[in-house]
Amino acid sequence: MVRPGELRFARWDEFDLDNGLWIIPSVRLKRRKTEKLHGRPHLVHLPHQAREILEALFVVTGRRGYAFAGSGGKNPYMSNNTLNAALRRMGYCTKTEVTAHGFRATFRTLTVELLNFPEAIAEMQLAHVVRDQNGTAYNRAEFLEQRRILMQTWANYLEDLKFDRAKASHPLLTEFSPVTLRLSAGLPAGARAQRT
């Protein structure tokens, strides 16, 4: 759940696939200049699904330095448009429906509301500053083990969605039923609710 720019410039020497960890240098994070130069790196735990994908990708781009290498000869890393272009090819509108950066908000919302992780854990995974009552003067927690569990739980949830076996559902929102189904069946308003 990193920012697209952090992903684009990912280098193979930042990945510890044996231990399931991606160590993003501070200089590449969204921070103030002094924090970029002297701050701690951001640790991203890699669930087993991500490790499998990265192992396969290493065979393709491992000699090029950048994990997500560019396909053209101009850039050694993928373009800042690559992810959104892929979404458009899948049929999504990146102006009104979804963007690559928007997946961060989806992650933040669903891990807290649906998967019941504490906000502080989700915020730390997103590399946001987690404020405490004293600003950030005393907040040095990194929640490493909790974030490892969070990332594996999130990957499992996405995999379950992919294979239509997701068990988690939002506690307040009902099952989604597009109005187009009711209209195409010629049912009056409220008919679906009465039948179920």
Q: Give catalytic status of residue 45 as yes or no.
A: no
Question: Out of 8, 42, 104, 148, which one is annotated catalytic?
Answer: 104
170 near 106, Cβ under 8 Å? Answer: no
Q: Single out the catalytic residue among 38, 40, 101, 162.
A: 101
Q: In the annotation, is 138 catalytic?
A: yes
Is 15 exposed, middle or buried (CB count within 10 Å of its CB: 0-12, 13-18, 19+)? buried
Per the annotation, the verdict on 30 as an active-site residue is: yes
Sequence-separated (6 or more) residues with CB below 8 Å from residue 2: 24, 42, 44, 127
Catalytic member of 3, 31, 182, 192: 3
Residue among 33, 138, 165, 195 flagged as catalytic? 138
Active site residue 101: yes
Contact criterion met (CB below 8 Å) for 125 and 132: no
Q: Is 38 a catalytic residue?
A: no
Residue that has been written with the tokens 């458009």 in this structure: 88
Residue 159's contacts (CB-CB under 8 Å, 6 or more residues apart) are: 49
Q: Which of 11, 128, 182, 192 is catalytic?
A: 128
Enumerate the active-site residues: 3, 30, 101, 104, 128, 138
